[in-house]
Amino acid sequence: MKDFACWIVERGSDGELKSGMARRGLADLPQGEVLVRISWTSLNYKDGLAATGHPGVAKRLPHVPGIDAVGLVEESSDPRFVQGQEVIIGGQEFGAGSWGGWSEYARVPAEWVIPLPDGLSREEAACLGVAGITAALSVRKLIDHGISPASGEVLVTGATGGVGILAVMILGRIGFRVVASTGKSDRAEWLRSFGASRSIQRSELETESDAPLLKSRWAAAIDTVGGTTLANVLRSTTVGGCVTACGLVGGQDLSLTVHPFILRGITLCGIDTSRTARDERLELWKRLSGVWKPAGLSEISHRIRLHDAEAAFTTILAGGVAGRTIIHVAD
């Protein structure tokens, strides 16, 4: 039986949680129609939680983190995929309810698999990953709402994070004026180099306020933070604006009145990438490999090997990562 290397989270015989490199056999993998030999995966905040055994993400132990991966089809019982085909895995339960991409092999349902589109290398696809799909879905929601470059500035919170920087890059590429919010003051010029028109300090959006509305500042926003930040973003959005929400690192509670919704007509759109239909993911990947493809993906990517994951996920959980960390799995 072929065995393979993976990063696994499990309980030892003494009941203590263990997280690190191990070897497993193909028979240990979950059921599915497609077996993929993984070339690249990535590090996301959710992966950091899974790697520490957070029960909200690693729902069953043992568990392999990694909510996205890129590689080559090894075997497939689904005629849509053939041996040697380059593919992307992401969304659904991959890396959460089911074993993920921090592994030399993954076996998954065919519906979770997307052919690597023309215009993207495997490394670029790993840099985009679920973060790129989340950013692209957020941008599309704004456009579907009628937000255009002529509408005014668009705010992106948590702009140095994975979803944040990719949203900045996509919006800048298609002509929007982007306001990037960050707590990393040394990254202001870095953000402008990737498409932001200007940046503001995160602290501007963190002040608790009882005011039902704040001064109008932007036509729309992509919020990756949640909590007080999201509440203040909604209070500061102009009449008829739209705000997408995809993160809760700043808190899961939303404390505000209904005034932004009934006096300014603001729309709040939740972004749930994990349950995005396959046809929609195919369309988003088509855009990300074409007219929405961010320039400079290699420049925002920090590359590591799988055995170096612990230092990396410790850093991302502490808020110390800017850009994307991608993990080279295959030699």
pLDDT 10s digits, 186-209: 999 999 999 999 999 999 999 888
Average pLDDT over the chain, rounded to whole?
Answer: 95
Q: How confident is the model at residue 1 (pLDDT cuts 50, 70, 90)?
A: low
Residues of the chain with pLDDT > 90: what percent? 90
Contact indicator for 99, 10 with CB cutoff of 8 Å: no
The structure tokens 């919006």 sit at 171
Return all residues near 82 (Cβ < 8 A) that are at least 6 apart: 73, 76
Q: How confident is the model at residue 312 (pLDDT cuts 50, 70, 90)?
A: very high
For residue range 210-255, list pLDDT tens digits in order.
Answer: 899 999 999 999 999 999 999 999 999 999 999 999 999 899 999 9
Contact indicator for 329, 104 with CB cutoff of 8 Å: yes
pLDDT in the model for residue 331: 57
Q: How far is CA 107 from the centre of its chain?
A: 21
Query: Of the ranges 94-98, 268-272, 292-296, 327-331, which one carries the lowest mean pLDDT score?
Result: 327-331
Q: How confident is the model at residue 14 (pLDDT cuts 50, 70, 90)?
A: confident
271 pLDDT more than 70 = yes
Contact indicator for 303, 77 with CB cutoff of 8 Å: no
Domains of the chain: 3-116+296-328 (3.90.180.10), 130-273 (3.40.50.720)
Total Cβ atoms within 10 A of residue 264: 17
For residue range 53-84, list pLDDT tens digits in order.
Answer: 998 898 899 999 999 999 999 999 999 999 99
Mean pLDDT of 96-117: 97
Contact indicator for 88, 70 with CB cutoff of 8 Å: yes
pLDDT in the model for residue 91: 85
